[in-house]
Structure 1
């Protein structure tokens, strides 16, 4: 094995892609860390430098997403309402999602759908993203119940937008942001009909 391959910056991405492919091909339970490492072209010890176990692959990048969502909310204009601040967070976080994320989307969705354990991990990821947004909104002085509802709508918009983006036309030249922001607009309209 090429020793340089273990230290390339895209190692985390290769591990995630390898894992998702193996989860889809043979199931989550049947996939071992050794198989993931081999498919990614790294050693098991390299795998464990990036992830504590195979479940952690699903939340790869969550910390970055949470940070970007919170920063976007914090940096929104002072006059922005809670959902406008969430929109700013979604736009900021979407900027970190590139073609590799778009390509991975449908395979990741299939892998999660096939595993209860991955569904639980995905739910925890959503909780973490909502907490980051809610905390940033609270930092702007938004009352707690409003911040929580806005954050949950933000998570739902991100997920809906990501699903549409990853399943959409690869040649549309658009990033994730228009999809996530459209989803947020739709959810905002849907909340008006709840009264």
Structure 2
């Protein structure tokens, strides 16, 4: 494939994921990723800061989606309900991506550096959600508690989604997980 073909970022992402699965993250170089994608290293670095970011480049889109959903929640929504609605709406972002999400997560789980990066990205999501709640007039510690709880529910539902049999619906798993959280909080 030539450099001029479309979707360089997607091709690089797919090539990286394939190589990480085949060879391991540590053993894969940027040069190998670029070659597999039919591109140059220079093109790789136009799209990604480093080989870690290939696995995390969609995180800003996810954050924007969540922040917009919380900001757009009805004014009457309790903080946890605004977060729950936002996290539930993420199901559409991941629709049709279960297998690639599963593969991505297996690469992350196998590498301490990537697990750390994942935690940093999740902490950034939580901070952005808490900030959005504060802009809606929610005070501390309620804003941070609701945001952290929402990210915890997302992590659990996401893990259930990628590891479960069949084709479960991520939004449904998020709803079920929020219901479980509410039951735990109610002492049931």
TM-score relative to the length of structure 1: 0.86
- Equivalent residue, structure 2, for 1:131: 127
* Aligned partners of 1:58 and 1:122 also within 8 Å: no
* Aligned partners of 2:98 and 2:162 also within 8 Å: yes
- Equivalent residue, structure 2, for 1:102: 98
Secondary structure of 1:54's match?
Answer: coil
* Aligned partners of 1:153 and 1:184 also within 8 Å: no
- What do the CA deviations read for 1:60-105 (whole angstroms, capped 9, x no partner)? 1111111111111111111111111001211333322231x31112
Indicate the larger mover: 103-112 or 75-84: 103-112
- Equivalent residue, structure 2, for 1:77: 74
Give the unaligned 5+ runs of structure 2: none
Give the unaligned 5+ runs of structure 1: none
Seen in structure 2, the aligned counterparts of structure 1 residues 187 and 30 have a Cα distance that, compared at 3 Å, is same
CA displacement at 1:189 relative to structure 2? 2.2
> Aligned pair 1:180/2:177, yes or no?
no
> Aligned pair 1:190/2:187, yes or no?
no
Query: Paired residues, what number?
Result: 188
CA displacement at 1:137 relative to structure 2? 1.0
Distance of 2:72 and 2:140 partners within structure 1: 19
Distance of 1:31 and 1:152 partners within structure 2: 34
Matches within 5 A, 1:139-150: 139-150=135-146
> Aligned pair 1:25/2:19, yes or no?
no
Seen in structure 2, the aligned counterparts of structure 1 residues 159 and 13 have a Cα distance that, compared at 3 Å, is farther
CA displacement at 1:32 relative to structure 2? 0.4
- What do the CA deviations read for 1:105-157 (whole angstroms, capped 9, x no partner)? 22222211211110110111111110111111111111121111111111122
CA displacement at 1:170 relative to structure 2? 4.9
Secondary structure of 1:35's match?
Answer: helix
